Amino acid sequence: MTQVNAWGNVVYDEYVRPIERVVDFRTEISGIRPRDLRKAKDFRVAQKEVADMIKGRLLVGHALRNDLRALLLSHPKYDVRDTAEYRLFLKGGRRRSLRGLASEFLGVKIQHGEHCPIEDARAAMLLYQRHKKEWEKGIDGQLLCGDIILRGNHEFHYSVEYNGKLLCISKEGG
């Protein structure tokens, strides 16, 4: 799990040991190797830290359902903004990859070679920031979006708190 602040600086960087034995690290996709998990943080500890970070916040990210399931967490639907589901990002009613969205909407190429959670976190943050105004316009009530937390499993997510601070986390996984 990697956290970056609003400027893309890493503020937290931990590997998380999964509950079940890993049989295929999919290193070419995840970037994770067996040696990376030798001193990894316990799953339950990381799960609690993430749960505490997103509690009471607007959760924004890419393919959040998958990531919440992987972390064995849930989040109120009203407080979820998913770039995989956002109407302006759909193509022919179909979900698109974070890589494709970053290329089309940000003009940047990501996810070449091994997985880099920092790169994905920065791309996801920019996607939301650039479309935040029109996105939030479609939501009942007025939200003041500030804190952003990016996290995920190969796709990266963020949470927006209402107090004007900005923190981003991204979680790498296999």
In this structure, the number of other CB atoms found within 10 A of the CB of residue 138 comes to 9
pLDDT by residue for the chain (174 residues), tens only, comes to 665 555 666 766 778 898 988 899 888 777 889 999 999 999 999 899 888 878 887 776 778 788 778 789 898 888 878 888 888 999 998 999 999 999 999 999 998 877 777 787 788 878 988 998 888 887 754 333 333 333 333 333 344 443 444 444 444 443
3-class state of residue 76 by DSSP: coil
Q: What is the pTM of this model?
A: 0.70
How is the chain split into domains, by residue range? 2-170
Top-tier CATH class for 2-170: alpha beta
Separation of alpha carbons 37 and 1, rounded Å: 12
Phi, psi of 128 (to 5 degrees): -65, -45
